[in-house]
Amino acid sequence: MSPSSAGFSEKLRPLQASWSAKHPGFIHEVVSDKAAVHLISYLYASIPEIVEAYKALPEAVLKAEFFRYLILLARGGIYSDIDTAALKPANEWLPDDFGHATVGLIIGIEADVGDRADWNLWYYRRIQFCQWIIQAKPGHPVLRDVVATITEDTLRMKRDRLLKPGGLPKSIVEFTGPAMWTDAIFSYFNNPTFFDFSTRISNVSYADFSGITEQKKIGDVVVLPITSFSPGVKQMGAEEVEHRMAFVRHDFEGK
């Protein structure tokens, strides 16, 4: 449903409008669920397995999760859930000395439970990267890995007749959501194909990002602190929406 539709949620209108207001030179496109299937069929016509996997997913939330990776892999740019508000323009997300041309992926921290013993009772990962907003260059290796993983898992489950609404063999968070997204990012950080390990003394892990309050760049990936995409959540060190590092507000109104 597009913002021009009479049925578009009144709660979402100001959120959607904030993106256009903060990014007047950008092309801002809202893609409905109905339009998404046609767009994916067009963009991935040469890779029918991806289209088959997308269409086979049995729940709307799974399709929405998969869509964000697919659209960014093909087109690049910024993906954001419809229930987010832009607080600062994207060109202010990075310091001037970060070498913007060398950045291929910008992500934010959703959860930072650090070393607490019961961390797994609260989140799936000690550090969990959010995917309600992602900025990426088209074709980024993390996105290629994620799309390949979801496609393979989906087609295997389809073959084994396991794609049942509410009865999947793994949770949505692990299948298409932030847990698998986080795993793919850490896999990238620790892949010698993309990174020089000659000066490393250990793998990149949650400890490299726990408690950060500024942007941190590893290779071509910039990780933003929890305040940047989760301001106002009142936990795990997140500051309020007025903070200088608060870039996007997530209102959790649904996708």
Pairing of strands 221-224, 105-112: parallel
Give me the pLDDT at residue 255, please: 46
For the stretch 24-66, pLDDT in tens is: 999 999 998 899 999 999 999 999 999 999 999 999 999 999 9
**Cβ proximity of 173 and 66 under 8 Å:** no
Residue 9 CB partners (closer than 8 Å, separation 6+): 253
For the stretch 153-187, pLDDT in tens is: 999 999 999 998 888 999 999 999 999 999 999 99
Give me the pLDDT at residue 100, please: 85
For the stretch 82-127, pLDDT in tens is: 999 999 999 999 998 888 899 999 999 999 997 777 888 778 999 9
Cα 229 from Cα 226, distance rounded (Å) = 6
Cα 166 from Cα 154, distance rounded (Å) = 15
For the stretch 230-250, pLDDT in tens is: 999 988 989 999 999 999 999
Where helices occur in the chain by DSSP H, the ranges are 13-22, 33-43, 48-56, 60-75, 141-159, 172-175, 178-189, 226-229
Q: What letter represents residue 204's amino acid?
A: V
**Cβ proximity of 251 and 133 under 8 Å:** no
Cα 54 versus chain centre, distance: 17
Instruction: Name which of 213, 221, 206, 220 is nearest 246 in CA terms.
Output: 213
User: Over the chain, what is the mean pLDDT?
Assistant: 92
Cα 128 from Cα 124, distance rounded (Å) = 7
